[in-house]
Amino acid sequence: MEQVFAPWRIEWIKRDKETPDVDDCVFCEFPERDDDRENRIVARSEHAFVLLNNYPYNPGHVMVIPNRHTGDYADLSDEELLDHARLKQRTFDALESALQPDGFNAGLNLGEGAGGSIGDHLHTHVVPRWQGDTNFMPVISDTTVIVEALAETYTHVHEAFADQEGATVPNSDRAVVFE
Ligand SMILES: [Zn+2]
């Protein structure tokens, strides 16, 4: 039987507010905070960052997010597009060495009609896949276990990014930085 795969149905954060704006956008807010580990930001480049999904489809489910607040893909400059794409390459590589998946699904949810949960700030989902895997969340529904799993995943993925060429690690509580 073919497996249905729809990570875009997962809401990253449950929110009541109907019209979030820049001041109210976690993808803008989290990078401004001091503690990247606490906020699950695992890597940063000049124009983008990598955030672990709080409601993962699978272990290692991350989002690669341009720094700039826009929901319009056409709005990204060449420089931003290239930087975002390079950070995706690094993300596949880091997840590959940290978690040894059999493959990946990766994609953008553009617009509310596509199921984007924070529709006005672009984010590319990257989900590691294993042969025969099932959705991680229903399998592990204990919140404490998920929080611990996220912390452990953060450590492994952080180490894998830190091993890459061109990586700078300010300290273990800060994201790995690529110039
Ligand atoms: Zn934003």
Is 133 or 141 the better-scoring residue by pLDDT?
A: 133
90 lies in some domain: yes
Residue whose tokens read 């930001």: 41
Residues 70, 22 contacting (CB under 8 angstroms): no
The residues carrying an active-site annotation are 123
Task: For residues 95-118, give the mean pLDDT.
Answer: 84
Is 59 or 7 the better-scoring residue by pLDDT?
A: 59
Position 20 pLDDT exceeds 60: no
Residue whose tokens read 């401004």: 32
Is 115 or 90 the better-scoring residue by pLDDT?
A: 90
Q: How far is ligand 1, taken at its centre, from the CA of residue 119, in Å?
A: 9
172 lies in some domain: no
85 lies in some domain: yes
For residue 2, give every residue at least 6 positions away whose Cβ sits within 8 Å of its Cβ, in sequence order, or none.
none
User: Domain span at residue 28?
Assistant: 7-167
Task: For residues 138-144, give the mean pLDDT.
Answer: 71
Task: For residues 139-147, give the mean pLDDT.
Answer: 73
176 lies in some domain: no
Task: For residues 119-126, give the mean pLDDT.
Answer: 87
Residues 117, 12 contacting (CB under 8 angstroms): yes
> Mind listing the pLDDT tens digit for each residue in 34-62?
899 999 999 999 999 999 998 888 889 99
Position 80 pLDDT exceeds 60: yes
Q: How far is ligand 1, taken at its centre, from the CA of residue 51, in Å?
A: 13
1 lies in some domain: no
89 lies in some domain: yes
Q: How far is ligand 1, taken at its centre, from the CA of residue 24, in Å?
A: 8
pLDDT-derived band at 118, boundaries 50, 70, 90: low
2 lies in some domain: no
For residue 177, give every residue at least 6 positions away whose Cβ sits within 8 Å of its Cβ, in sequence order, or none.
43, 44, 45, 167, 168, 169, 170
Task: For residues 167-171, give the mean pLDDT.
Answer: 91
173 lies in some domain: no
pLDDT, averaged across the chain: 84
pLDDT-derived band at 132, boundaries 50, 70, 90: confident
116: CATH: 3.30.428.10
Structural domain total, the chain: 1
pLDDT of residue 120: 82
